[in-house]
Structure 1
Amino acid sequence: MSFGDPNNPYGQQGQPGQPQPGQPQPGYGYPQQAPQGVPPQGYGYPQQPGQPYGAYPQGQPGYGGGMPELAHWGLRFGGKLIDGLLYVVPYFILVAGASSDGGIGPVLALVGGLAMLGIFIWQVIQEGSTGQTVGKKVVGIRLLRENDGQPIGAGMAFVRGLAHFLDNIACYIGWLWPLWDQKKQTFADKVCSTVVVKSK
């Protein structure tokens, strides 16, 4: 006697959890049914109660339900000015000290150069990880990726700094581009797909 034998009583009984002959088989081509009482899950982040569909979960930086207000040119200029002073003032203090005392002048100039380099590296790391340099934080703006509203990372922040060369070569017109651009972007922002938004 085999299990396929029609006289075999065990061959006619379905096993628990197995579909009966003639019933549709779950798998490709059939929608999967969720257990009763369990809502279907969508793609992306798990949705939290009371959270709009597509929004980032709590604690995640990003646009969420919509893009924040873009920062106008005046705020961007103010942030850039503060950052520039952060580089220049300590250096000129050291240079002034060097010129008043010729014996340690070269040492102070070297210290000033190293201080500027250290500030630059720290600013790039801060801008990449939080979207804010010291100047941006003071004026209340933030640099983010255009497509998802996330910070761009230190490497991309450095690349964007190099891309400001494009803002300089056409008589500095790239720095003024946010005045009339729909997304208020400089040429560097367009190349790197970044936007500057208000953070408060």
Structure 2
Amino acid sequence: MGNPYDPYGQQQPGYGQQQPGYGQQPPAQPGYGQPPAQPGYGQPPAQPGYGQQPPPQPGYGQPPAQPGYGQPPAQPGYGQAPPPAQPGYQEVHHHHYGSTGQLAEWGSRAGGYIIDYLIIIAPVLVLYFLGALLSSSGGGAALIGVLLMLVGMIVSFAGALWICYQEGTTGQSIGKRQMGIRLVSAQTGQPIGFGMAFVRKIAHIADSFLCYIGFLWPLWDERKQTFADKICNTLVVRN
């Protein structure tokens, strides 16, 4: 009978290892391709050996680890919605220019100009018409007629100055106030002052060239400016 501790094909115990007793089976060796034995139910998992550090566990209330410097943040998985985009600085082109507001349309500008023109020209036309009738009569009536026409011219000039003062100090004449628009500086968005408003009125001479094309220029201009507005760097905006 063979040695019970030396079965055929089984590994002999090394030097210094305990020999199994009589009738005891040697410990089973894991076969080829078989996993090692797992701990039984209720048994704790294997502890790290002496000198080894256990894996760090996140403490209660501690945030998860943040990506290191220069590493991109984690991307959302398949099927997950991306995080909402942060509102960056974007330039919006809706005919707004900083604090100046929304640009006035050509129809509003034309309406305000017509109202101002009628306010000035109506009394002037009346005085000029009366003066012309009296001057044709001869004698003293003719002198009165000439005086009436001079008064009409003075009234017209005074009315133009008054409109310049209103537009320069408040940004609005009677016509612009009725149409809900105002004249401002393109740089500051504030009224341009009496002097610059007077210069702008003179600059309207440039708008009269080539069949008054300068007055029609706001129809296709990006900033809706006449030639006088471009010369004086002004805008007409809505209230």
Q: TM-score when scaled to structure 2?
A: 0.54
Matched, 1:136 2:198: no
The residue that corresponds to 1:182 in the other structure is: 222
The residue that corresponds to 1:85 in the other structure is: 118
1:71-110, aligned counterparts within 5 Å? 71-102=104-135, 103=141, 104-110=144-150
Moved over 4 A (4+): none
Higher helix fraction (1 or 2): 1
The residue that corresponds to 2:164 in the other structure is: 124
Matched, 1:172 2:205: no
1:50-89, aligned counterparts within 5 Å? 66-89=99-122
Q: Distance in 1 between matches of 2:198 and 2:173?
A: 12
**Structure of larger gyration radius:** 2
Q: 1:184–1:118: structure 2 CA closer, same or farther, 3 Å change rule? A: same
Q: Distance in 1 between matches of 2:108 and 2:114?
A: 10
Q: Deviations over 1:28-82 (max 9, x none)?
A: xxxxxxxxxxxxxxxxxxxxxxxxxxxxxxxxxxx99743111000000001111
Q: Deviations over 1:130-188 (max 9, x none)?
A: 11112111111100001110100011001111111221123211111111111111111
* Maintained 8 Å contact 2:100/2:188: no
Question: What residue ranges of structure 1 are gaps of 5+ in the alignment?
Answer: 1-62
Higher relative contact order (CA 8 A, sep 6+): 1
160-169 or 75-84, which deviates more: 160-169
Q: How many residues align?
A: 137
Q: 1:67–1:117: structure 2 CA closer, same or farther, 3 Å change rule? A: closer
Q: TM-score when scaled to structure 1?
A: 0.64
* Maintained 8 Å contact 2:183/2:237: yes
The residue that corresponds to 1:151 in the other structure is: 191
The residue that corresponds to 1:7 in the other structure is: none
